[in-house]
Amino acid sequence: MSDTDADTGPAAAPSPTPIVAFFDVDNTIMRGASVYHLGRAAWKRGYVTFGDIVRFGWKQMRFIAVGENHRHQVAVRDRALELVAGHTEAELEELAIETYEKHIERLLLPETVGLAQDHRDKGHEVWLITATPEACARVIAERLGLTGAIGSRIVSVDGVFTGELLGHVMHGPHKATAAAQLAAERGAELADCWAYSDSRNDIPLLELVGNRVVVNPDAALARYATARSWPILTAGVASIRAARRRVRREARAVARSARRER
């Protein structure tokens, strides 16, 4: 059966309300931890020390090998907050653009980027949702033509970052809370929404929506997903094609009247 044949068949009626597809960033849209590359760029600008980069590098290698854990998240979060303290919003935006152009762009996973674009073609809103500082996530979303990004936010006073969090790190159950809030604001039905992630920490987000796909999952998420018969997307060509066919076949398109301008 060809991909075209698999995409044919009766389609569900277009949704009268918006549909949102949520994508994690690290090890889902891209390979590795985005904040590590933000740290490398910060070091080159003199924001952090070489020792900081060595520690970032070790955590990056471990993250790629075994996935994230709570201690890793706390350590990276704290260093990310420290590296922007005392710097301006404009400086962080410049740093985020530089990080994307020099590092993140070449680490994007074309398979999941393609899925995000399939959702966009259906008229869905596509949001990145990540513990990465929101300024960095927003640059990735803009460069990929996605709707927007939800990330960890940092307090600024008169345009200068204090190094303190504004609210919670966008991680674990806080991702699910933020996603539910955004869906409600957009008038989306959670049963029609989608979520993609590689991490067991995103189980609350995955369980929130009606359609979830795990992407190159860590061991704990793989077990959890298998027990519940959730779709699992791996790097294999057949898996990728199956996932994209599923979006094209099963995801409801959004009626033009329900679409929102970005």
Among candidate residues 262, 140, 258, the one with its CA nearest the CA of residue 192: 258
Reading the block at residue 223, the tokens are 């077990």
Reading the block at residue 233, the tokens are 């997307």
Reading the block at residue 138, the tokens are 């927003």
Strand order in 20-23's β-sheet? 148-152, 125-133, 20-23, 194-197, 211-215, 232-233
CA dihedral 39, 41, 46, 52 (to 10 degrees): 30
Other CB atoms closer than 10 Å to residue 104's CB: what's the count? 25
Under 8 Å CB-to-CB from 154, ≥6 apart: which residues? 81, 84, 133, 161, 162, 163, 164, 165, 166
SS3 assignment, position 261 = coil
Using a 10 angstrom Cβ sphere, with 0-12 exposed, 13-18 middle and 19 or more buried, the burial of residue 12 is: exposed
The active-site residue out of 24, 118, 192, 198 is: 24
Among candidate residues 138, 43, 149, the one with its CA nearest the CA of residue 97: 138
The active-site residue out of 3, 5, 7, 26 is: 26
52 catalytic? Reply is no
118 catalytic? Reply is no
Catalytic residues: 24, 26
